[in-house]
Amino acid sequence: MKRRWAVLSLAALATGCLDTEPLDFEPAPADAGADGPEDPFCRQCLSSDQGQCQAAYEQCRQDETCWTVIDCALLRNCMNPPTFEDRLACANPCLQRAGLSTPNHPAINTLLTLNICANDSCRSSCIKS
């Protein structure tokens, strides 16, 4: 159910409310994330071969668009906010950097899987309330 809502939210953003005009990308300073610089424990939880997120994380690494987004989002600490909307707002520059402007791009499913996994399996490492 969470995944369906997330897909519908992304679809709504991309089709109606999202300005898809390209913007110049400027790398964010190290402390520009939700709460400062990257929290290495979140990346470690997502990528750990002992965690439930590792398969999706590795699948994302194999897709240049997906990896551009998730690497940028983790560097900006965008998994930190407790709500999907706030994580999406934080990661918006990362989505733009990757040129990801349509909800039907194959990377979207992997990114949503990682978001759900961060919320469910890595919550204590990634999401701060």
Domain around 104: 32-126
pLDDT in tens, 99-108: 988 888 989 9
Whether 5 maps to a domain, the answer reads no
Q: CA torsion sign, 54 to 1 to 20 to 79?
A: negative
What's the total number of domains in the chain? 1
If you average pLDDT over every residue of the chain, what do you get?
Answer: 78
Q: CA torsion sign, 110 to 18 to 20 to 73?
A: negative
Whether 11 maps to a domain, the answer reads no
Whether 64 maps to a domain, the answer reads yes
Whether 27 maps to a domain, the answer reads no
Rounded Cα distance, 90 and 128, in Å = 14
pLDDT at 25: 44
- State the DSSP code for 77: T
Q: Which is nearest to 107 in space by CA: 76, 70, 81?
A: 70
Model pTM score = 0.69
Whether 22 maps to a domain, the answer reads no
What are the structure tokens assigned to 78, written together?
């965008």
